Amino acid sequence: MANLLEQLLTLATAGTVMISSALTAAAPHNDINGLLYLQNRQWRSGAAYIPELREADVKGKVREMRDDAAAALEQMAADCKAETGFHLVSVSGYRSYQTQATIYQRKVKNVGSQKRADEYVARAGASEHQLGLAMDLGWEYKEKGKLRLYSGTSNKFPNSAAGAWATENCWKYGFILRYQEGWEDVTGYKAEEWHFRYVGRENAEKIYANQMPLETYLILLRQEVLMDIVLGAEKE
């Protein structure tokens, strides 16, 4: 990486590349309206950000998402129903900064300290739900011959018919399973089998194929973009 930056600097000094546009291109995690914006415990956005939202046409509650994410979720839910016979259920999509602050404060009150609350709940500005690109999913199941909706969050999600299908197929619709076991040190969150993040089909396919957290993908993507700029400039 150091080598790559040196090459970039050399090219910039020679006037071959604009260092500022190269760095912008290599930093999709900074573009709050983009699909790869990074929001986690280290990278927090302020109260001011409110995306354009609409209600996804799926079963469940709190169905607001950004339009591209909502459309992808609708397709995923429809295909899940067609292939498994069960609905995916929206549990929690968009959450405002203020809602997240309220949830966090309630958790602090319940567990007695911020340190313990941090283990379970994101602080305001640290949750992807504020971006309108995240959805917590529940599932539909059959009980005594009747179809029922489970509309909470649970690690049993992947054991349900709809959940197993979504876990396996979400990338085809541009979603990634954002927090997985073994990734806690990178993502800062415990595994959440129900939390899906929309990143677009192309990114989701690569992330799924490589089984890596979004944070790691963003670092590799940055290197790839910078490398392309260097190689492209050297060819000219």
Residue 201: half-sphere exposure toward Cβ, Cα within 13 Å: 8
Q: Compute the distance between CA of residue 167 and CA of residue 170 in angstroms, rounded to an integer.
A: 6
Among residues 178, 212, 163, 125, the alpha carbon closest in space to that of 221 is found at 212
**How far apart are CB 134 and Zn ion at their closest, in Å?**
5
Instruction: Report the 10 Å Cβ neighbour count for 17.
Output: 22
Q: Which of these ranges, 5-13, 14-22, 190-198, 201-209, lies near Zn ion under the rule CB under 5 A?
A: 190-198
Q: Compute the distance between CA of residue 233 and CA of residue 227 in angstroms, rounded to an integer.
A: 10
**How far apart are CB 69 and Zn ion at their closest, in Å?**
13
**How far apart are CB 155 and Zn ion at their closest, in Å?**
13
Residue 197 lies near Zn ion (rule: CB under 5 A): no
Asked if residues 121 and 103 have their Cβ atoms less than 8 Å apart, the reply is yes
Q: Compute the distance between CA of residue 158 and CA of residue 228 in angstroms, rounded to an integer.
A: 38
Q: Which of these ranges, 45-53, 70-78, 104-112, 129-137, lies near Zn ion under the rule CB under 5 A?
A: 129-137
Nearer to Zn ion, 177 or 229 (CB): 177
Q: Which of these ranges, 104-112, 132-140, 205-213, 228-236, lies near Zn ion under the rule CB under 5 A?
A: 132-140
Among residues 224, 191, 193, 194, the alpha carbon closest in space to that of 206 is found at 224
Q: Which residues pair with 60 in a beta bridge?
A: 90
Chosen residue from 22, 90, 136, 218 binding Zn ion by CB under 5 A: 136
Which candidate in 74, 128, 192, 202 is catalytic? 192
Nearer to Zn ion, 16 or 154 (CB): 154
Query: Is residue 168 annotated as a catalytic residue, yes or no?
Result: no
Chosen residue from 66, 87, 95, 195 binding Zn ion by CB under 5 A: 195
Residue 64 lies near Zn ion (rule: CB under 5 A): no
Binding site for Zn ion (CB under 5 A): 136, 195
Residues with catalytic function: 192
